[in-house]
Amino acid sequence: MTGIDKLLRDIATEVHYTRDLIGRNAFDPRVMAAMAEVPRDAFVPADEQQYAFANGPLPIGWGQTISQPYIVALMTDLLGCGPQARVLEVGTGSGYQAAVLSRVVRQVYSVEIIPGLAEAAARRLAALGYTNIETRLGDGYLGWPEQAPFDGILVTAAAPRIPQPLVEQLGPKARLVIPVGEPHGRQELVVVEKGADGAVQTQPILPVAFVPLTRSATRSPPWGSDGDA
């Protein structure tokens, strides 16, 4: 059994165990095809290569992690985006989640606040030939307003509250998938859906554990009273 085969088997097993929480017995075949196509080992540091296809998070430096493959697949599936969608990712990290998204949507925009990660991910994605991913260094809390509205937004770090700028950048009938909660405290993966009339509904999915979403020091104080949901 290859590493990819084991990764896909482990994802399917975890879907089975969590099916009552996530409301599905299997992920979209397009999502699983993306998980099979994207080489996770290309996004994992050299000293973690032996664990590249394990179904768990791994450190990537700067206190950050590459997410568990099951969670990457789940968040991609929860977005529910079609092949012509334009998606924003907040928290590029190693670039792995962006690469997976790029196989199921038309265009990915990804924002990373840590310069070293942003630069390394941009080089890696270019070297691997991902031509439909645009990255930039910035405060992901603010989204990417110049490219809004988006057909989906995915956040790969936990926010204490849902950032209002991201909700505003959702297009009609679009979803925001985000872990919400405090560092080292209770966190839940939440789906925020904006209706055609602009009304917003939220749905908690399952408990998760993510690194915290950080703000730029040059911006307003982190998580101030600026209308977060």
Name the residues annotated as catalytic: 67
Look-up of token digits 């070293």: 116
The answer to whether the CB of 207 falls within 8 A of the CB of 182 is: no
The span from the CA of 11 to the CA of 71, in Å, is 9
The span from the CA of 72 to the CA of 101, in Å, is 9
Total residue length of the chain = 229
Smallest CA-to-CA distance from 118 within 110, 128, 127 is with 110
For 103, phi then psi, to 5°, come to -85, -10
In sequence order, what are the residues at sequence separation of 6 or more whose Cβ sits closer than 8 angstroms to the Cβ of residue 72? 35, 96, 97, 100
In order, the DSSP letters of 40-104 are GGGGS-GGGGGGTTSSS-EEEETTEEEPPHHHHHHHHHHH---TT-EEEEE--TTSHHHHHHHTT
Reduced to 3 states, what is the DSSP secondary structure of residue 155?
Answer: strand
The answer to whether the CB of 87 falls within 8 A of the CB of 101 is: yes
